[in-house]
A and B are shown apart, each in its own frame.
Chain A
Amino acid sequence: MKITLSVNDRSVDVDVAPSTMLVDVLRDELGITSARATCGVGLCGTCTVLLDGRPVSSCLLMAPLAIGKRITTVEGLPDDDAVVRCFSERHAFQCGFCIPGMVLTARDMIDTGRANTPEEIREGLGGNLCRCGCYVKIVDAIEEAAR
């Protein structure tokens, strides 16, 4: 089916099977590789995108369900985004595979006032796994970005 999606404030037309997951549309149709399917079952957060500003697992969201909503990937954050800056400056990454999802989750936590303490930040990251184990620096980066 032909659908129109709003991705990073641009309108894009794609032709996909109705059951196609959003992560596959982003990667295969639009070439946005920052959304990554790792677990495929909504547990790891590497496929996180923002849908009208709220994080969702794009591995579980059928693309047509995103019609009419604003989809934001890490590429769509402003150049001076504080989360991006703090992750970069604090070197809060190793391989980086999980990081775009972490950044978007953090963006939402900060926007909704749920990044006030390290404990709160850790809670908020419960659905974002980092096998490289960068959590110490990730939590520090989010704490700083929230200030």
Chain B
Amino acid sequence: MTADMRRSPGPSPADPRVVGGLDYSIDHHVPGAWHLRLVRSDVAAGRVVDIDTTGVESDVTIITPADVAAYGTFGCQIADQRVLAAEPKFAGDPVVAVVAPTPEAAREAAASIQLDYDEAHGVFNEFEAATASAPLVHTSHASASGDAAYFAMRPLDGTNVCHRFRIRTPELRGYDEPELIRELPPLDDATMSDAFAGSDIVVEETFRTPAAAHVPMEPHATTAQWVDGRLEVITGTQTPFNLRQDLAALFGLDPADVRVVAPAMGGSFGAKTFMRTEAITAVAAAFTGKPVRCVLDRDEVFSEVTRHASTVWMRMGATREGRFVAKQMVAYVNTGAYADCGPGVAQKLGYAGVGPYRFDHVAVDSYCTYTNLPPAGAFRGYGAMQSAWASERLVDMLAGELHIDPVELRRMNLLRDGDAFCTGEIMHDTHFEELLDDAAKAVAWNDGRDGKGVAIILKGMQTPSRAEVAIHALPDGRFEVRSATADMGQGAPEALTRMAADVLGVPPEHIVVPPPDTDLAPYDTRTTSSRSTHMMSRALAAAADDLRANGTVGHGRIVNDGGLDPDTGTGVASSHWHQGAAAAHVDVDDETGIIDVRSLYATSYAGRVVHRAAAELQNEGSMIMSLGTALFEELTYVDGQLVNPNLSEYNIASALDGATIHHRLLETPGAEVHGLGETAVPPVPPALGNAVASLGYHPCRLPMTPERVLASRVHPRQEAP
């Protein structure tokens, strides 16, 4: 029945994605699979004291925390998570799994199980979690050893801080400082007074961003089975090799005995990275001896992984003429109950918050703190949005104090080729000035600036990282490109096809790109941080050379070294930089606080474009998602309980919101390929915020809901002091 209801490949040039011809993870069915449902904690913190399963039918397999106690902990950067939680750490933490022959039976069984708790006090805010009196979410910190833990961890024992990342430019080193800053430092703080000594004007402010949801349209869907002692997992994931490594560690297997197949995803945006439902699904398959399928409900997707909420305090000093002197930042990043890749996010947020500017002195403390909220992980932008919101709003505040045009002030201080970033690395291939001018022009900056705002950002690419690809010459004359680059809608197969055709000098029809399968594809770090097109373009060129030399199989391997010292921030943050700017023109209704976006523009450095439509879509999609971030997206928790886990109360942008969007890809023929998956994400909220601020408001907190805008009104209208 299945096959003949499908459209047969006819003369129509219909793309399979348009006519329902593409199978996502959720569409993959393994015959005989049983169905998994999770019974989740109602409490945000505590201990489960009783699990009442008397209502469950006898053919249902029940798995409790005690049943899986022999399995160790896992986590991509900190091994802090268990397959099931006897001591739940957020409302929604899986406590019991049930596995039944049908989805209905599994649902019924899960609903009939009663949990009793010994409830404990939780902590929910990232800043409060860092205070001395906060209850500890985890009593100890254990760094992970897998490839995703690519930098030295600085957990602060006895606190909720699981990682502390610091930048201290050379003259700010060697002071005796507390490990954890729990109160925002006064300006005469001995360490920093030197840094700001050369400043005529100093501004400071605290900025906040909430937790947010990725909302991939396709939920997480995983099928696991054991075949002759090997584990096979079919799952939508951006990180097939990290997942293979973590699953192998959990089951004590050789990684070669774990196979991860990653079909196309119906969206991810970071939601399908590292270990998600795969661990419990694989355990359930081991328990039942059957293939097991797990598909999350929409409300579960909302709490599976979120974007890090943040509190970012920032201080900036400049000379009267507008030369930037010093920046200090203390950021608290809310990673929820499990660290996931929060340490990496804290690091990236830390250096991205410095912005694309020259400073004499930079001091950053970025703390990744545990709370009793759902875990936060990778989210399009990876921390750069949170700190760009602070940094770019603060630049406009400084411009106001200095009476210097905000575009002009930025231009005076932008990083140019040959300048040193705060990490010590020397900038190259910089395009900031061009991007800034382009953004300003898009909103006719010189024709009056009321209601207008600009922002400019830099964002790192995953560094260090490694990419490998293999090209197999097929007997029929075509070439198969085997890579672990996952397809989440960004057009990975198309980009690989075009790049491979290019380096091999054959038409694209001669290229075949199967979905990632760790049994076939060589290792790849992961499809994140807009790195894949860039890394793969280089790896493919190497693979083509190897193929020419060796006949039937060509291997290409690219390694980017780098990384940052966690105590000084010295090193190589990024082997190349994502650079972007945005501009906005808005009206604000001063009765209601409603922001009317008249135009929103983003301009991103693309280098060489591989696939024009896909590149444009990345830019447009980033802007639209970030428009929601700026104006309305927020996961709302009351005492750790999520109150809007559905699309009627958690709004995402619709076609109506997309009406005012324009953008540009800044291209340099023959240049390196630059990933574009996230570049337009960070500059959009501050461009909108600065536009709103130009009308006499002082927004410091996202999203800029009408109530918050009204409450931020500066009386009288913000004027030169």
One of B11, B15, B215, B264 near A95 (C-beta < 8 A):
B264
> Which segment of B313-321, B392-400, B488-496, B706-714 sits at the interface?
B488-496
Check if B661 sits within 8 Å of A136, measured CB to CB.
Answer: yes
Check if B646 sits within 8 Å of A39, measured CB to CB.
Answer: yes
Check if A99 sits within 8 Å of B10, measured CB to CB.
Answer: no
Q: Is B184 an interface residue (CB 8 A)?
A: no
Q: Is A6 an interface residue (CB 8 A)?
A: no
Q: Tell me which residues across on chain A come within 8 A of B625, comparing CB atoms.
A: 131, 133
Q: Tell me which residues across on chain A come within 8 A of B616, comparing CB atoms.
A: 137
9 contacts between A and B (CB under 8 A): A38-B218, A38-B647, A39-B647, A44-B217, A91-B613, A93-B17, A94-B621, A96-B18, A129-B652
Q: Is A79 an interface residue (CB 8 A)?
A: yes
Q: Is A62 an interface residue (CB 8 A)?
A: no
Chain B at the A interface: mostly helix, strand, loop or mixed? loop
Check if B19 sits within 8 Å of A74, measured CB to CB.
Answer: yes
One of A40, A91, A98 near B298 (C-beta < 8 A):
A40
Check if A125 sits within 8 Å of B648, measured CB to CB.
Answer: no
Per-residue CB contact flags for chain A residues 73-84 toward chain B (1 = under 8 Å, else 0) read: 111010110001
Which chain B residue lies CB-closest to A40? B298
Whole-angstrom distance between the alpha carbons of A100 and B10 in the complex?
18
One of B18, B24, B488, B614 near A84 (C-beta < 8 A):
B18
Q: Is B659 an interface residue (CB 8 A)?
A: yes
From A40, A75, A135, residue with most partner B Cβ within 10 Å: A135
Q: Is A30 an interface residue (CB 8 A)?
A: yes
Check if B621 sits within 8 Å of A93, measured CB to CB.
Answer: no
Taking Cβ atoms with an 8 Å cutoff, the residues of B that contact A are 1-3, 5-7, 10-20, 22-24, 26-27, 214-219, 264-267, 269, 297-298, 488-491, 613-614, 616-617, 620-625, 646-648, 652-659, 661
Whole-angstrom distance between the alpha carbons of A108 and B616 in the complex?
28
Size bin of chain A's contact surface: 35 or more
Which chain B residue lies CB-closest to A79? B12
Check if A103 sits within 8 Å of B5, measured CB to CB.
Answer: no
A residues 37-73 near B (Cβ < 8 Å) are: 38-41, 43-44, 46, 73
Which chain B residue lies CB-closest to A94? B489
Q: Tell me which residues across on chain B come within 8 A of A33, comparing CB atoms.
A: 20, 23-24, 27
Whole-angstrom distance between the alpha carbons of A47 and B621 in the complex?
21
Q: Tell me which residues across on chain A come within 8 A of B657, comparing CB atoms.
A: 135
Whole-angstrom distance between the alpha carbons of A131 and B616 in the complex?
15
Check if A133 sits within 8 Å of B217, measured CB to CB.
Answer: no
* Given known A-B contacts A36-B217, A41-B647, A121 and B10 have beta carbons under 8 A apart: no
One of B6, B218, B267, B658 near A135 (C-beta < 8 A):
B658
Check if A74 sits within 8 Å of B217, measured CB to CB.
Answer: no
From A34, A77, A125, residue with most partner B Cβ within 10 Å: A34
Check if B5 sits within 8 Å of A84, measured CB to CB.
Answer: no
Taking Cβ atoms with an 8 Å cutoff, the residues of A that contact B are 7-8, 10, 30-34, 36, 38-41, 43-44, 46, 73-75, 77, 79-80, 84-85, 87-100, 103, 118-119, 121-123, 125-126, 128-139
Shortest CB–CB separation between residue B207 and chain A, in angstroms? 25
Q: Tell me which residues across on chain A come within 8 A of B652, comparing CB atoms.
A: 129, 131
Shortest CB–CB separation between residue A45 and chain B, in angstroms? 10
Whole-angstrom distance between the alpha carbons of A126 and B624 in the complex?
15
* Given known A-B contacts A43-B647, A137-B613, A97 and B5 have beta carbons under 8 A apart: no
Shortest CB–CB separation between residue B334 and chain A, in angstroms? 23
Whole-angstrom distance between the alpha carbons of A129 and B298 in the complex?
15
Whole-angstrom distance between the alpha carbons of A122 and B658 in the complex?
9
Whole-angstrom distance between the alpha carbons of A123 and B23 in the complex?
30
Which chain A residue lies CB-closest to B268? A95
Check if B617 sits within 8 Å of A96, measured CB to CB.
Answer: no
Whole-angstrom distance between the alpha carbons of A103 and B20 in the complex?
11
Whole-angstrom distance between the alpha carbons of A126 and B656 in the complex?
7
5 nearest A-B residue pairs (beta carbon): A34-B20, A95-B489, A96-B17, A31-B2, A97-B266
Check if B267 sits within 8 Å of A139, measured CB to CB.
Answer: no
Q: Tell me which residues across on chain B come within 8 A of A125, comparing CB atoms.
A: 654-656
* Given known A-B contacts A38-B298, A41-B646, A85-B13, A100 and B6 have beta carbons under 8 A apart: no
Which chain B residue lies CB-closest to A38? B217
Whole-angstrom distance between the alpha carbons of A102 and B665 in the complex?
27
Whole-angstrom distance between the alpha carbons of A104 and B671 in the complex?
41
* Given known A-B contacts A75-B5, A131-B267, A100 and B655 have beta carbons under 8 A apart: no
Whole-angstrom distance between the alpha carbons of A138 and B617 in the complex?
11
Whole-angstrom distance between the alpha carbons of A94 and B495 in the complex?
13
Check if A91 sits within 8 Å of B5, measured CB to CB.
Answer: no
Shortest CB–CB separation between residue A102 and chain B, in angstroms? 9
Shortest CB–CB separation between residue B596 and chain A, in angstroms? 15
Shortest CB–CB separation between residue B531 and chain A, in angstroms? 18
Check if B20 sits within 8 Å of A134, measured CB to CB.
Answer: no
Q: Tell me which residues across on chain A come within 8 A of B14, comparing CB atoms.
A: 79, 84-85, 88
Shortest CB–CB separation between residue B685 and chain A, in angstroms? 15
Check if B620 sits within 8 Å of A103, measured CB to CB.
Answer: no
Q: Tell me which residues across on chain B come within 8 A of A94, comparing CB atoms.
A: 267, 489-491, 614, 617, 621
Shortest CB–CB separation between residue A34 and chain B, in angstroms? 3
One of A80, A98, A126 near B12 (C-beta < 8 A):
A80
Check if A79 sits within 8 Å of B11, measured CB to CB.
Answer: yes
Q: Tell me which residues across on chain A come within 8 A of B266, comparing CB atoms.
A: 36, 95-97
* Given known A-B contacts A75-B5, A80-B12, A133-B625, A93 and B217 have beta carbons under 8 A apart: no
Which chain A residue lies CB-closest to B626? A133
* Given known A-B contacts A93-B17, A97-B217, A131-B269, A44 and B264 have beta carbons under 8 A apart: no
Check if A46 sits within 8 Å of B655, measured CB to CB.
Answer: no
Shortest CB–CB separation between residue A24 and chain B, in angstroms? 9
Shortest CB–CB separation between residue B147 and chain A, in angstroms? 26
Shortest CB–CB separation between residue A83 and chain B, in angstroms? 9
From B265, B488, B647, residue with most partner A Cβ within 10 Å: B647
Q: Tell me which residues across on chain B come within 8 A of A8, comparing CB atoms.
A: 5
One of B16, B27, B488, B620 near A137 (C-beta < 8 A):
B620
Check if A100 sits within 8 Å of B624, measured CB to CB.
Answer: no
Check if A132 sits within 8 Å of B27, measured CB to CB.
Answer: no
Q: Tell me which residues across on chain B come within 8 A of A30, comparing CB atoms.
A: 1-2, 5
* Given known A-B contacts A88-B13, A91-B614, A93-B18, A126 and B655 have beta carbons under 8 A apart: yes
